[in-house]
């Protein structure tokens, strides 16, 4: 029987890559639901190609426009839903076996958590679900019996390097350290004093990966790696001091696991998100991803270096947040989303991003994150605080 698939964030880069893989294995997967925020033209094309039962357009105005477009198309029988609650609805449908959680930012938390509570196979590309509500999310996975498979290239690489039969969230005494690789982004070698003048266009031009604008900025500041650090602590139940971030500009090794016997296992491949997506979709088997085989002779050399925390203060702040625990990762994430959005709209400088985050974190104590309601409340409080910090900076 085909597995029913729901893709949260279908028109983003992860969603598009997922549908590419699905198209290669239509005998194994049936698309049940596709969701988008506002990109209804891309969503319509996807609906025509994959014929889902449901389409969700979160923006209600765009949803009405989408319904109009759908009426004159060849797939006019698709059920169209709108609003954030519709994301949770399609994530928990009986006919859905797997949920690709690919909505960027805090908006992806609730539908991803709903899928986990419903016992689905959660293909997790949304970092914020674990960064904001890690303990609650992992508890939901354990209580429901859901299967959690990481999609981030680094976490998927670590998962592949773990012992046979490993389940996300468990501790393994065989592994003593994780080496979490990072490309270093577009400003790895740029003079620190020149970062103040970085433009939006420069920040979103990632040298290796094709990603959305927000994630590309996070990569440029290395907050993306900071969020991945927090995520790795939860996915693999390891202390932050046992996870070493390593800059590897070639992006061929996607991460490594250091074992107690001195062995270091690395997962390698071309920088293409279809590899981790195909791995998770086929798990515990494997199938074709559509990615060209790695030509090891073209690699020639691989470089590794420690990140400079003066150049990348966002990575330092992420270490501080996960060590503080409680609500601090939630505060970190909220402040970062506000700061990056303001930068993308040319309201603050690139170098203002970590300043805003650090000032926001300083206004909160490391209280416990013991309920979803509290996490969502803190998220809003941190966003409000970040906007006030920005207003003060621009005054």
Q: What is the mean pLDDT of the chain?
A: 94
Q: Does 72 lie in the same domain as 55?
A: yes
Interatomic CA distance for residues 127 and 135, integer angstroms = 13
Q: Does 238 lie in the same domain as 189?
A: yes
| Residue 258 domain flag | yes
Q: Does 158 lie in the same domain as 133?
A: no
Q: What is the mean pLDDT of residues 47-59?
A: 96
Lowest-pLDDT choice from 163-167, 210-214, 312-316, 322-326: 210-214
Is residue 209 over pLDDT 80?
Answer: no
The closest of 360, 376, 177, 70 to 352, measured between CA atoms, is 360
Q: CB burial class (10 A; 0-12, 13-18, 19+) of residue 261? A: exposed
Is residue 86 over pLDDT 80?
Answer: yes
The closest of 154, 60, 148 to 112, measured between CA atoms, is 148
Range of the domain at 168: 151-313
Q: CATH no. for residue 28?
A: 3.40.50.720
Per-residue burial over 267-301, b if 16 or more Cβ lie within 10 Å, else e, is bebbbbbbbbbbbbbeeeeeeebebeeeeeeeeee
Give the pLDDT of residue 32: 98
Is residue 207 over pLDDT 80?
Answer: no
Helix axes 313-324, 328-344, angle to 10 degrees: 150
Lowest-pLDDT choice from 2-11, 194-203, 350-359: 194-203
pTM: 0.92
If you search the block for the tokens 């139940």, which residue do you land on? 237
- At 229 the three-state DSSP class reads helix
Q: Does 142 lie in the same domain as 37?
A: yes
Q: Does 238 lie in the same domain as 98?
A: no
Q: What is the mean pLDDT of residues 151-180?
A: 95
Q: Which residues pair with 378 in a beta bridge?
A: none
The closest of 158, 159, 160 to 180, measured between CA atoms, is 158
CB 115 within 8 A of CB 101: yes
Q: Does 264 lie in the same domain as 171?
A: yes
| Residue 319 domain flag | no
Is residue 208 over pLDDT 80?
Answer: no
Q: What is the mean pLDDT of residues 231-245?
A: 96
Q: What is the mean pLDDT of residues 73-101?
A: 96
Q: Does 232 lie in the same domain as 271?
A: yes
Give the pLDDT of residue 90: 98
Give the pLDDT of residue 105: 79
Q: What is the mean pLDDT of residues 296-300?
A: 92
Q: Does 129 lie in the same domain as 50?
A: yes
Q: Does 179 lie in the same domain as 56?
A: no
Give the pLDDT of residue 38: 93
Q: Does 218 lie in the same domain as 105?
A: no
Lowest-pLDDT choice from 6-10, 100-104, 278-282: 100-104
Q: Based on the structure, what is the number of domains in the chain?
A: 3
Is residue 211 over pLDDT 80?
Answer: no
54-57 and 121-124 strand pairing: unpaired
Q: What are phi and psi of 116, to 5 degrees?
A: -65, -45
- At 167 the three-state DSSP class reads coil
Give the pLDDT of residue 212: 77
With cut-offs at 50, 70 and 90, classify the pLDDT of residue 302.
very high
Is residue 225 over pLDDT 90?
Answer: yes
Give the pLDDT of residue 129: 87
If you search the block for the tokens 């049940």, which residue do you land on? 32
Q: Which is more confidently placed, 208 or 218?
A: 218
Q: What is the pLDDT of residues 344-390, one digit of tens each?
A: 998 999 999 999 999 999 999 988 988 999 999 999 999 999 999 99
Q: CB burial class (10 A; 0-12, 13-18, 19+) of residue 223? A: buried
Q: Does 137 lie in the same domain as 158?
A: no
Give the pLDDT of residue 210: 63
- Show which of 291, 313, 335 is a domain's final residue: 313
């Amino acid at each position: 029987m085909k597995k029913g698939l729901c893709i949260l964030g279908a028109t983003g880069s992860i969603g598009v890559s997922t549908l590419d893989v699905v198209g290669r294995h239509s005998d194994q997967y049936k698309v049940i639901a596709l969701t988008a925020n506002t990109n209804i033209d891309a969503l319509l094309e996807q609906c025509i190609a994959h014929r889902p039962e449901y389409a969700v357009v979160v923006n209600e105005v765009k949803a009405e426009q989408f319904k109009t477009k759908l009426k004159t198309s060849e797939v006019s029988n698709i059920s169209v839903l709108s609003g954030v609650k519709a994301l949770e609805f399609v994530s928990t449908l009986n006919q859905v076996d797997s949920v690709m959680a690919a909505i960027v930012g805090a908006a992806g938390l609730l539908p991803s958590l709903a899928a986990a509570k419903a016992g689905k196979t959660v293909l997790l590309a949304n970092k914020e679900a674990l960064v904001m509500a890690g303990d609650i999310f992992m508890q939901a996975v354990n209580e429901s019996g859901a299967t959690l498979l990481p999609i981030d290239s680094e976490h998927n690489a670590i998962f592949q390097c773990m012992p046979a039969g490993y389940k996300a969230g468990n501790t393994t005494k065989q592994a003593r350290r994780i080496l979490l690789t990072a490309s270093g982004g577009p400003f790895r070698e740029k003079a620190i004093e020149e970062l103040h003048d970085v433009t939006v266009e420069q920040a979103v031009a990632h040298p290796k990966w094709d990603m959305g604008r927000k994630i590309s900025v996070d990569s440029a500041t290395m907050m993306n790696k900071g969020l991945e650090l927090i995520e790795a602590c939860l996915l693999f139940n390891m202390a932050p001091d046992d996870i070493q971030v390593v800059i590897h500009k070639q992006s061929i090794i996607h991460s490594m696991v250091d074992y107690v016997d001195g062995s270091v296992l690395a997962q390698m491949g071309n920088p293409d998100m279809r590899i981790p997506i195909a791995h998770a979709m086929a798990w515990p088997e494997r199938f074709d991803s559509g990615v060209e085989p790695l030509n090891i002779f073209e690699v020639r050399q691989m470089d590794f270096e420690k990140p400079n925390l003066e150049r990348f203060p966002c990575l330092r702040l992420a270490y501080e947040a996960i060590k503080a625990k409680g609500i601090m990762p939630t505060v970190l994430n909220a402040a970062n989303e506000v700061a990056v959005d303001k930068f993308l709209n040319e309201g603050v400088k690139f170098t203002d991003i970590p300043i805003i985050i650090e000032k926001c974190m300083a206004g909160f104590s490391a209280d416990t994150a013991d309920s979803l309601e509290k996490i969502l409340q803190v998220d809003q409080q941190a966003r409000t605080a970040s906007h006030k910090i920005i207003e003060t900076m621009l005054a």
